[in-house]
């Protein structure tokens, strides 16, 4: 089993090919047989896990999995206690209410690399940083959450996934996780994933089944007879 931590730069696709010629993972990684475990938006940066283990990859991206992902979001505006409380409690998005999260205002992360290209600043509007930790992975979720509370995201960096951090990994660089640490992570994650799946299957099996009617059931006779086919 191979497990790779990679610091994805901004404007790099989370796949290995692109018919439009945009930058992809293939520009930075040449380890055979690995695939990304989850996605990171084209215009987002930071930690991405890749592995050649299909079960591990599925467990990392399992809906309902308790694997926490930590993001640093540079937002437009000033985070108020009320806005942070809304982010933590759950934000109602078009695809439903987000799960409870951890949200706090932070100083600009120490040692954070410059973004290429730079974000667009507007002199009359202040910016600030938020740390947001979530346990789900909807499409562009963090950006949609901050926008919903009046704090549009200008820059988004994934700082950590579970026990793994982007700290010390430069943009475009990768590290292979030592076998022992990778194996321990896999075992603990699969145990949780199997338990989540078992609970889901048990709930599904306990639901009452609705009997299926035949196509002719319940039809009333009109009293009319079809043509006499006797000869």
Question: Is 23 exposed, middle or buried, given 0-12, 13-18 or 19+ CB atoms closer than 10 A?
Answer: middle
Confirm if 138 and 154 have CB atoms less than 8 A apart.
Answer: no
Q: Which residues contact 81 (CB under 8 A, 6 or more apart)?
A: none
3 state DSSP class of 129: strand
41 catalytic? Reply is yes
Within its chain, how far is the Cα of 210 from the centroid?
Answer: 34
Calpha distance 219→228 (Å, rounded): 22
DSSP state of 25: G
CA neighbours within 13 Å on the CB side: how many for 31?
19
H-run or E-run covering 148: helix 141-148
Q: How far is CA 174 from CA 6, 15, 50, 149, 170, in A?
A: 4, 15, 10, 34, 8
DSSP annotation of 136: -
Give the active site residue among 18, 27, 41, 95: 41
Active site amino acids: 41
């Amino acid at each position: 089993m191979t497990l790779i931590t990679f610091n994805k730069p901004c404007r790099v696709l989370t796949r290995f090919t692109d018919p439009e010629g945009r930058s992809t993972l293939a520009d930075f990684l040449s380890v055979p047989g690995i695939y990304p475990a989850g996605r990171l938006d084209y215009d987002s940066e930071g930690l991405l896990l890749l592995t050649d283990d299909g079960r591990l990859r599925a467990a990392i991206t399992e809906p309902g999995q308790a694997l926490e992902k930590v993001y640093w979001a540079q937002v437009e505006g000033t985070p108020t206690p009320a806005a942070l409380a809304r982010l933590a409690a759950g934000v109602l998005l078009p695809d439903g209410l987000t799960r409870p999260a951890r949200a706090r205002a932070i100083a600009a992360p120490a040692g954070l690399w410059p973004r290429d290209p730079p974000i667009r600043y507007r002199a009359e509007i202040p910016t600030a940083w938020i740390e947001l930790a979530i346990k789900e992975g909807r499409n562009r979720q963090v950006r949609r959450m901050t926008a919903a509370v009046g704090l549009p995201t200008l820059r988004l960096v994934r700082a950590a996934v579970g026990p793994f951090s982007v700290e010390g990994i430069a943009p475009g660089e990768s590290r292979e996780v030592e076998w022992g640490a990778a194996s321990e992570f896999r075992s603990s994650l699969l145990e949780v994933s199997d338990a989540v799946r078992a609970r889901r299957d048990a709930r599904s099996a306990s639901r009452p089944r609705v009997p299926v009617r035949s196509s002719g059931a319940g039809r009333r006779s009109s009293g009319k007879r079809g043509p006499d086919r006797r000869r």
